[in-house]
């Protein structure tokens, strides 16, 4: 770990009820990894111009910024998250999918992504068990958060994915492609044919 890690104290983050020890217990990151993640997270929340600030490369370390570049609140709003995420997909419109991702990370549903939300979600995606990763994905697809994936939920997700991919889809896909994808998804996942997919159905099918 670099020598600057020691003076990055997570308990000083405003709006953060958890400190470093609690995050060490809730995630599969080391202390130095969490400190590097936090430095980068603060830069992101100030609107840093480097889209790769938000992602797994944090784990390889992140250079220290001056205090004027660090976020005073430790929160990332949806607009900032969408702006950064969209830069990964310049060929399409990633705003809708970024909205769903933001909701999946925003565990307490307060409209702002705090560092704990980000660290816990990223830990699941990078180092969680297969079941934890599938649970996270299911919750992402469950757009209205009612505990089920409906065809309406999945259609919104698929439309957002196709919009995000834009001109990268080959061959070019027609307007009916998202709906067709949803039908295929339900043929495979909706085991009891009741029109919704439960987590148990989703898990069983994915683990086959």
Number of structural domains found in the chain? 2
pLDDT for 128-143, tens place per residue?
Answer: 999 999 999 999 999 9
The verdict on 179 and 105 lying in the same domain is no
Is the domain of 40 the same as that of 2? yes
* Same domain for 122 and 20: yes
Residue that is last in its domain, among 68, 94, 128: 128
User: Are 196 and 150 in a shared domain?
Assistant: yes
Residue 68 confidence (pLDDT):
26
Residue 83 pLDDT > 80: yes
Given 106, 128, 150, the domain boundary residue is 128
3-state class (DSSP) for residue 150: strand
12 and 71 in a single domain? The answer is yes
* Residue where a domain terminates, one of 71, 94, 128: 128
Provide, rounded to the nearest whole percent, the portion of the chain with pLDDT above 90. Answer: 51
Q: Are residues 41 and 136 in the same domain?
A: no
What pTM was estimated for this model as a whole? 0.74
pLDDT tens profile 14-70: 444 458 888 999 999 999 999 999 888 877 766 544 444 444 443 333 333 332 233
Alpha-carbon distance values, 38 to 33, 84, 95, 186 (Å): 9, 17, 24, 39
Q: Output the CA torsion 191→193→199→201 (10° steps).
A: 0
Greatest Cα pair distance, the chain, in angstroms, is 58
Q: What is the mean pLDDT of residues 104-117?
A: 89
Shared domain for 197 and 141, answered yes or no, is yes
Domain co-membership, 20 together with 68: yes
- Tell whether omega for the bond before 171 is within 30 degrees of 0, i.e. cis: yes
> 84 lies in which domain range?
1-128
In this structure, the answer to whether residues 11 and 93 fall within a common structural domain is yes
Are 114 and 135 found together in one domain? no
Q: What is the pLDDT of residue 43?
A: 78
For the domain that residue 183 is a member of, what is the CATH number?
A: 1.10.238.10
pLDDT in tens, 157-182: 999 999 998 866 655 667 788 999 99
* DSSP state for residue 172 in the 8-state scheme: P
CA angle 34, 61, 101 (to 5 degrees): 60
SS3 state of residue 76: strand
Mean of the per-residue pLDDT values for the chain?
80
What's the Rg (C-alpha) of the chain? 19
């Amino acid at each position: 770990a670099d020598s600057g890690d020691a003076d990055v104290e997570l308990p000083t983050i405003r709006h953060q009820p958890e400190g470093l020890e609690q995050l060490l217990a809730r995630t599969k990151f080391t202390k130095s990894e969490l400190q590097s993640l936090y430095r980068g997270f603060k830069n992101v929340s100030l609107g840093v111009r480097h889209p790769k600030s938000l992602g797994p490369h944090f784990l390889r370390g992140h250079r220290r910024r001056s205090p004027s570049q660090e976020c005073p609140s430790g929160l990332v709003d949806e607009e900032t998250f969408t702006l950064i995420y969209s830069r990964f997909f310049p060929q399409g419109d990633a705003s809708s999918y970024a909205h769903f991702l933001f909701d999946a990370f925003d565990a307490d549903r307060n409209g702002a992504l705090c560092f704990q939300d980000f660290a816990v979600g990223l830990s699941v995606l990078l180092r969680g068990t297969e079941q934890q990763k599938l649970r996270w994905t299911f919750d992402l697809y469950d757009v209205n958060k009612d505990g089920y994936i409906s065809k309406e939920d999945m259609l919104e997700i698929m439309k957002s994915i196709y919009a995000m991919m834009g001109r990268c889809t080959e061959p070019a896909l027609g307007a009916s492609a998202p709906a067709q994808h949803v039908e295929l998804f339900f043929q495979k996942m909706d085991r009891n044919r009741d029109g919704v997919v439960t987590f148990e159905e989703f898990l069983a099918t994915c683990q086959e």
